[in-house]
């Protein structure tokens, strides 16, 4: 539930004429998120498994190679995956396999057959602040490549989110409710940089839980080392 500040503009008599009273504070213009919506729609993907599972993901580059990032629970128990990309020429599908599964956070990397035809997303630099407006991408229900907006409402810790972000680490709370199929979708700031990745809905509340970019980046560095060592065997 969003909290909105309401500014009451009153009239005061000045020199016998009506004039607007000076506002007690200035309103900060909301950022234009249209470019972030476009970036999100271009770089997110739809993931489908042979066991009728489906979810979302996005593209990252590690060691000069592009992978699809998603939640581990999206691809759990799957061997072959179908990954759909939203390119400028239209939607393109490719077979994919699991390249990396994290044992620390709910993260997996998918390697696809052939080149990935969309650009990777960049990570945000600096800490995310409460109240920041964000763009969220996902494939809720039977829909594909849907983007929406929300606000960072705070952080969550504890046993309910430990499997998502790691024991003792913070998850982001976003005031937008994730639907089945949205797991693994990117959360972007107004510049189109990755702030986090959707994990699921917090139990008993209509808020989404997201793994923060800092946590994702740390685990992706570990994944890069594993993938590099594997390629040199």
User: pLDDT class for 50, splitting at 50, 70, 90?
Assistant: confident
Cα–Cα distance between 115 and 160 in angstroms, integer?
37
| Residues with Cβ within 8 Å of residue 200, at least 6 apart in sequence | 164, 178, 183, 208, 209
Q: How many CB atoms lie within 10 A of CB 11?
A: 9
Instruction: Look at 21 and 202; give whichever has higher pLDDT.
Output: 202
Q: Write down the pLDDT at residue 38.
A: 94
pLDDT at 173 over 90: yes
> Can you tell me which residue has the tokens 């970019």?
213
Q: Write down the pLDDT at residue 126.
A: 76
Cα–Cα distance between 173 and 164 in angstroms, integer?
12
Q: Write down the pLDDT at residue 81.
A: 95
**Which residues partner with 87 through β-bridges?**
90
Q: Are 59 and 67 in contact (CB under 8 A)?
A: yes
* Segment holding 40, helix H or strand E: helix 34-43
Q: What is the mean pLDDT of residues 114-126?
A: 91
Q: Write down the pLDDT at residue 205.
A: 73
DSSP label at residue 3:
-
Q: What is the mean pLDDT of residues 5-25?
A: 39
Q: Tell me: the pLDDT tens digits for 73-98? A: 999 988 899 999 999 999 999 999 99
Determine which of 4-8, 29-33, 93-97, 193-197 has the lowest per-residue pLDDT on average. Answer: 4-8
Q: Write down the pLDDT at residue 28.
A: 58
Q: Tell me: the pLDDT tens digits for 181-193? A: 999 999 999 999 9
Return phi, psi of residue 218, to 5°: -60, -45
Q: Tell me: the pLDDT tens digits for 200-232? A: 987 677 789 999 999 999 999 999 999 988 777
Q: Write down the pLDDT at residue 17.
A: 41
Cα–Cα distance between 1 and 37 in angstroms, integer?
21
pLDDT at 19 over 60: no
Q: What is the mean pLDDT of residues 138-165?
A: 91
Q: Write down the pLDDT at residue 29.
A: 65
Cα–Cα distance between 1 and 176 in angstroms, integer?
8
pLDDT at 116 over 60: yes
User: pLDDT class for 233, splitting at 50, 70, 90?
Assistant: low
> What mean pLDDT is reported for the chain?
85
Q: Write down the pLDDT at residue 31.
A: 78
């Amino acid at each position: 539930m969003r909290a909105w500040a309401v500014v009451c503009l009153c009239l005061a008599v000045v020199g016998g004429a009506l004039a607007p009273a000076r506002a007690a504070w200035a309103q900060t213009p909301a950022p234009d998120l249209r470019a972030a919506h476009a970036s999100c729609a271009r770089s997110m993907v739809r993931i489908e498994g042979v066991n009728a599972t489906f979810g979302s993901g996005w593209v990252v580059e590690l060691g000069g190679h592009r992978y699809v990032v998603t939640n581990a629970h999206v691809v759990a128990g799957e061997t072959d995956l179908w990954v759909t990309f939203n390119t400028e020429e239209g939607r393109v599908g490719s077979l994919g396999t699991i390249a990396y599964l994290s044992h620390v956070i709910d993260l997996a990397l998918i390697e696809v057959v052939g080149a990935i035809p969309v650009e990777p997303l960049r990570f945000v630099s600096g800490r995310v602040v409460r109240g920041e407006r964000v763009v969220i991408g996902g494939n809720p229900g039977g829909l594909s490549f849907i983007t929406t907006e929300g606000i960072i409402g705070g952080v969550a810790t504890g046993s309910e989110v430990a499997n998502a972000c790691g024991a003792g680490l913070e998850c982001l709370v976003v005031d937008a409710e994730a639907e089945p199929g949205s797991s693994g979708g990117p959360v972007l700031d107004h510049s189109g940089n990755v702030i986090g990745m959707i994990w699921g809905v917090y139990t008993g509340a209509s808020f989404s839980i997201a793994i923060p970019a800092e946590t994702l980046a740390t685990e992706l560095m570990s994944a890069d080392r594993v993938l590099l060592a594997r390629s040199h065997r």
